[in-house]
Amino acid sequence: MRYCIIGNSAAAVGAIEGIRLLDRENPITVISDEPYHTYSRPLISYFLAGTKEEEGMIYRPKDFYRKNNVEVLLGKKAVSLDTVAGEVVLADGQKIAYDKLLLATGGKPFIPPVKGLSAINEGIFTFIKLDDAKELQQHAGAGKTAVIIGAGLIGLKAAEGLIKLGVDVTVVDLAPHVLSSILDEKAAQLVQRHLVGKGLKFHFGVTADAITENDGKKIVALADGTEITADMVIMAVGVVPNHGLAKDSDIEINRGIVTDNHMETSIKGIYAAGDVAENYDLLAGENRVIPILPNAYQQGNTAGINMTGNEVVYPGGFAKNAIGFFGLAMTTAGLVKDKDAEEYVNAADDSYVKLLVKDHKLVGFIRINAVDRSGILTGLMIDRVDVSGMLESLLSVEPGLIVLPADTRHSRLEGGAVTWR
Ligand SMILES: Cc1cc2nc3c(=O)[nH]c(=O)nc-3n(C[C@H](O)[C@H](O)[C@H](O)COP(=O)(O)OP(=O)(O)OC[C@H]3O[C@@H](n4cnc5c(N)ncnc54)[C@H](O)[C@@H]3O)c2cc1C
């Protein structure tokens, strides 16, 4: 049995650990187009800001590959799959034969069609990998200016890193407020106040129509006629599944690579996991891409175990985010935009808690400056507990374990608590 994994991040690590749980012998080859030991992608903004060294970003210890008997091919891009012969073809022509293959190729930045963008060779960045942070760092510094297109998690994380380096940052988004996929208007206002206090400037409800260059400076023309001049432009509109390899073979793709509850694709022996794959969203009741690190790890781990010929079922997941911006902490989870859910809100000047409830079950929440014990709420969502009698306690900034029904409380206290990897 020869295992091959394309990608070297959370889903790949989950798969290696899943395989080695049950098979210590057979060879595993990992192919990665990045030149680095596996690292934690969410830390790139701290690296950019200079508050995290490269060494401190590793996702597993330096001896991880050796201890797990993994041959890792770094800086090698897989360019095609021969699903009949069972081979991965690399950019340098090398062929890697496999019996079981995992596609863990993650996401790639979505670049919107902005007029003039493709004609500019320097000073345009994306922000999803360590090399992006390194390049940006070389251009950033006090007195420099940046426009970030996209006020989502990645755009704001890039903004935080740049502000800490003394860069003057303006963020542009078509949405009416920051983090529009996970926050409502009121929660976003709280976050925006905090970010404006740290020096960020915003333009909402408007697109960047064109980018031109004059004497090395970029001029971003917004649809409302505003022009912003900057040294650099960061495209952070979103991330889409990086499924090119599957697209060129016969593997079924929807938005992400379609997988079953074993994380196997439509071709037997080929699995997919992480930001490239779609699988069951427990709360939405349908298959989706849920591009967060804990899901990538768990899906990869499930795939790894199944690749050994043993069987485990992926239970499904849902979106959860634990994010901090300049010391402001927030957690969100589940269907925070569900229009059919009942909403319960506890808003103060510096904190915000919102619960979304459907059929007496918690299906989503937003908690800002109230993140302690968020794991209790995700636990209630996973266990589908009737929360009718505990809404007041759950709305408090620090709900105690006592709000839980006795059996749920015991399982949480005995180590069943949800962990945020
Ligand atoms: C700035 C930032 C902040 C984030 N913050 C959070 C957070 O706070 N919490 C959270 O849960 N998630 C966060 N995320 C998302 C999280 O990082 C991803 O969900 C997670 O990394 C997905 O893991 P993955 O293994 O699926 O893929 P990825 O981490 O995307 O890794 C895929 C790897 O495959 C490689 N690859 C792709 N194609 C090929 C090929 N053809 N050949 C060889 N190699 C290839 C890629 O270069 C990459 O190294 C953040 C992401 C970013 C960018």
Ligand 1 atom at shortest distance from the alpha carbon of 322: 8
What does the H/E/C string look like for the chain?
CCEEEECCCHHHHHHHHHHHHHCCCCCEEEEECCCCCCECHHHHHHHHHCCCCCHHHECCCCCHHHHCCEEEEECCCEEEEECCCCEEEECCCCEEECCEEEECCCEEECCCCCECHHHCCCCEECCCCHHHHHHHHHHCCCCCEEEEECCCHHHHHHHHHHHHCCCEEEEEECCCCCCCCCCCHHHHHHHHHHHHHCCCEEEECCCEEEEEEECCEEEEEECCCCEEEECEEEECCCEEECCHHHHCCCCCECCCEECCCCCECCCCCEEECHHHEEEEECCCCEEECCCCHHHHHHHHHHHHHHHCCCCCCCCCECCEEEEEECCEEEEEEECCCCCCCEEEEEECCCCEEEEEEECCEEEEEEEECCCCCHHHHHHHHHHCCECHHHHHHHHCCCCCHHHCCHHHHHHHHHHHCCCCC
Residue nearest to atom 2 of ligand 1 (CA): 42
Tens of pLDDT, residue by residue over 124-133, are 999 999 999 9
d(CA 231, CA 219): 9
Residue numbers in the chain where pLDDT is lower than 70: 399-421
In ligand 1, which atom is closest to the CA atom of 44? 1
Atom 53 of ligand 1 has which residue's CA nearest to it? 128
> What is the model's pLDDT at position 407?
60
Backbone angles phi, psi at 299, to 5 degrees: -65, -40
Question: Quick one: which of 18, 21, 14, 19 has its CA closest to 1?
Answer: 19
Span from the CA of 213 to the centroid of ligand 1 (angstroms): 31
Taking the centre of ligand 1 as the mean of its atom positions, its distance from the CA of residue 405, in whole angstroms, is 37
Q: In the prediction, which pLDDT does 375 show?
A: 85
Nearest-CA residue for atom 30 of ligand 1: 106
Compute, in angstroms, the gap from residue 381 CA to the centroid of ligand 1.
26
User: How many whole angstroms separate alpha carbon 78 and alpha carbon 173?
Assistant: 34
- In the reported structure, the alpha carbon of residue 106 is separated from the centroid of ligand 1 by a whole-number distance in angstroms of 5
Which residue's alpha carbon is nearest to atom 37 within ligand 1?
105
pLDDT of residue 418: 30
Tell me the C-alpha distance between 123 and 136, whole Å: 9
State residue 404's pLDDT score. Answer: 61
d(CA 415, CA 148): 42
Q: Which atom of ligand 1 is nearest to the CA of 76?
A: 43
Atom of ligand 1 nearest to the CA of 9: 25
Closest ligand 1 atom to residue 320 Cα is 11
User: Residue 401 has what pLDDT?
Assistant: 57
Which atom of ligand 1 is least distant from the CA of 421? 11
Distance, in Å, from the CA atom of 292 to the CA atom of 247, rounded to the nearest integer, reads 22
Q: Which of 284, 249, 281, 285 is nearest to 265 (CA)?
A: 249
Protein residue whose Cα sits closest to atom 26 of ligand 1:
274
Ligand 1 centroid vs 128 CA: distance in angstroms?
A: 7
pTM, 2 dp: 0.93
- State the closest ligand 1 atom to the C-alpha of 157, by its place in the atom list counted from 1: 1
Residues framing ligand 1 (Cβ under 6 A):
6-12, 31-34, 41-42, 44-45, 77-78, 104-107, 127-128, 153-154, 157, 242, 245, 274-275, 291-294, 296, 321, 323
